[in-house]
Amino acid sequence: MLFAISFIWSLHIAGISERDLVNQGGWNLVWRFVVAAIHPELSREFLLLTLNASLKTLAYAVCSTFFSILIGLIAGVLSSEVWWSIGNNQTPWLFGRGILAFPRAIHELIWGLFLINIFGLDPLVAILAIAIPFGAITAKVFSEILDETPRQPLLALLNSGASPFSAFVYGLFPQAFPNLLSYSFYRFECSIRSAAVLGIIGAGGLGYQLLLSLQSLRYEQMWTLLGALIILSGSTDFGCTWLRDRWGLPSRLDLNVLNFQQHRKLLQRDSVFISILAAIILFIFSFWYVQADFSKLWQVRSYERLATIIQIALPPNTSQLNQLFTLATRTLAMSILAIASAGFGGIILAFLAARNFVLPQGILSDATKSSQLHLTFLRWGVLLCTRFFLLFIRAVPEPIWALIFLFVLFPGILPGAIALGLHNLGILGRLMAEVVENLDQRPLRSLQAAGATNPQVFLYGVLPSTFPRFFAYILYRWEVCMRATVIVGIVGAGGLGRLLTEQLSSFDYNSLLTTLIVFVILTFIVDLISASVRKTLR
């Protein structure tokens, strides 16, 4: 009931009942954009430019993922309950999680705009802008994984006289390692998308070239760049999925239930050595390619600029609280509309993108028809088309989607909500398809053995097993949607994001601090609602 009320309220805030929503003159631009897909820009000079932008986006993602995991591992251990419970001290882990809540509430694009004022236009800005919030998010997830890991081996080592550190390293960490590794792969996939988004602030890469081509209406170039971004995102997704399958890590976000021990012989033979060697080569290449000036981190000049900004920002300007409240409600409505459309579409497409649901010999396949060749081709066609569609819409950054929809929709939260909804639909559809593929087959086989029809197996076996995870993912992405309202606001979708950008560009740090406080409070409210509902779903 609360969701239905909030959804209707969000539609009202978006002005869905108003007549002047569609700009009829923009359809010509949309048609030109679609037609340009037939003949993308394939000149040698532009292909070299696209290759350079792709490598830069990949290098940013690799460097930022490295620091995110490093921050997440250290802060995750220090903010975990189990680490402090060894010493019978419960207070520090709560304090640690409270500190981590602030950096992860602010989107990486805002971090980038802020860090530019300190370090200038340096590749270091893009790396830190992703590493800081992603490191805080990774720390939160890592701490939850450590807290949910069985503690019997840890307690056995402590009772046998082992030191707390040794008991933690040898008793708890080996059990949690598969899940930490699986989430690290997922964080790398997210870094690819964030590295593309940061191109909007001038960091270079595919996102920057996409924005230039869209603003100059060079749609043929846009499709070439979009193709490169899809290839980069798709190959990253495929590579990470292949490694997780080889290592018995079927899930990105959930705790992996497969026994990691049974894959150790396979890992020792080939996968570990090759993967470590490839990772080292990729790290060395990425840090060399971006040419970031890390010496700025300890230069006195950088700290002087930071101190000046803090001095100017205090005390915060509270003269615009009424405007901030109005914009906060619009931002919240944008996030609700986005996640509602993404969640509904993700649930539908998840089953069409799941191998064990669509392909022959799947969950609901008919043995009498599974051998028919034309049905096999049809099933493969549905699977591949659905997966490509999900890959395409999640590979395109949200600001690019927002700019495209602003061709035919007047500025407001509606184009921003549609852009966020499309992008998150691609992510949710893939995550939910993974849930379907990891279903425990035993209850389903029991229902079929008892004579249940395919619709009954779906209603009483598949849906009860998948819907709790579906809703948990939707709530998790709602938190991300809330943060991402900033980046669509920058390009004219309204909300607090547009105001934050104006305040940053005009160096109005007093008002900026107030807007950031309101935005962080709003993000915390969404986070608390999401966490409480997800807790009941467990």
Q: How high is the pLDDT of residue 365? A: 62
122 inside domain: yes
Cα 470 to chain centroid distance, Å, stands at 16
How many alpha carbons lie under 13 Å from residue 174 in its C-beta half-sphere? 12
Q: How high is the pLDDT of residue 366? A: 58
pLDDT one-digit tens code per residue, 280-339? 888 899 889 888 888 888 888 888 888 888 888 788 877 777 888 888 888 888 889 999
CA distance 516 to 308: 18
Same-domain status, 216 and 353: no
Mean pLDDT of the 84-89 span:
68
Same-domain status, 148 and 288: yes
Domain boundary among 269, 285, 309: 309
Same-domain status, 161 and 299: yes
Which range has the top average pLDDT, 37-51, 372-386, 443-457, 508-522? Answer: 37-51
- CB-based contacts of 259: which residues, under 8 Å, 6+ apart? 248
Is the pLDDT assigned to residue 129 strictly greater than 80? yes
Same-domain status, 370 and 486: yes
Count Cβ atoms below 10 Å from residue 395 Cβ, excluding itself.
25
Categorize the per-residue pLDDT at 199 as very low, low, confident or very high, splitting at 50, 70 and 90.
confident
Between 386 and 88, name the one with better pLDDT.
386
29 inside domain: no
* Owner of token pair 């037939």: 38
Mean pLDDT of the 259-269 span:
46
pLDDT one-digit tens code per residue, 394-450? 888 888 888 888 878 777 788 888 999 999 999 999 889 888 888 877 888 888 888
Q: How high is the pLDDT of residue 371? A: 55
- Which CATH number goes with the domain that contains 355? 1.10.3720.10
Same-domain status, 346 and 282: no
Contact between 6 and 340 (Cβ < 8 Å): no
Number of structural domains (the chain) is 2
Same-domain status, 278 and 395: no
243 inside domain: yes
Q: How high is the pLDDT of residue 422? A: 92
Three-point CA angle 181, 187, 193, nearest 5°? 155
Helices 123-148 and 108-119 cross at an angle (nearest 10°) of: 140
Q: How high is the pLDDT of residue 378? A: 82
Q: How high is the pLDDT of residue 6? A: 87
361 inside domain: yes
Mean pLDDT of the 451-477 span:
85
Domain boundary among 309, 338, 365: 309
Asked if the bond preceding 397 is cis, omega within 30° of 0, the reply is: no
Mean pLDDT of the 226-232 span:
90
Residue 409 main-chain phi, psi, to 5 deg: -120, 140
7 inside domain: no
Q: How high is the pLDDT of residue 260? A: 45
- CB-based contacts of 327: which residues, under 8 Å, 6+ apart? 494, 495, 496, 499
Is the pLDDT assigned to residue 387 strictly greater than 80? yes
315 inside domain: no
Same-domain status, 331 and 223: no
Same-domain status, 358 and 492: yes
Domain boundary among 272, 287, 309: 309
Q: How high is the pLDDT of residue 106? A: 83
What percent of the chain shows pLDDT beyond 70? Answer: 89
468 inside domain: yes
Q: How high is the pLDDT of residue 4? A: 87
Same-domain status, 298 and 245: yes
N- to C-terminal Cα separation, the chain: 21
CA distance 353 to 350: 5
Same-domain status, 198 and 287: yes
The per-residue pLDDT of the chain, averaged, comes to 82
Categorize the per-residue pLDDT at 342 as very low, low, confident or very high, splitting at 50, 70 and 90.
very high
Q: Using H for helix, E for strand and C for coil, what is the string for 209-265?
A: HHHHHHHCCCHHHHHHHHHHHHHHHHHHHHHHHHHHHHCCCCCCCCCCCCCHHHHHH
Same-domain status, 234 and 383: no
pLDDT one-digit tens code per residue, 138-185? 888 888 888 888 888 888 888 888 888 888 888 888 888 888 888 888
17 inside domain: no
Could you tell me the residue range of the domain that residue 368 belongs to?
323-537
pLDDT one-digit tens code per residue, 14-29? 777 766 777 777 788 8
Q: Give the pTM.
A: 0.84
Same-domain status, 141 and 179: yes
* Owner of token pair 């305040």: 503
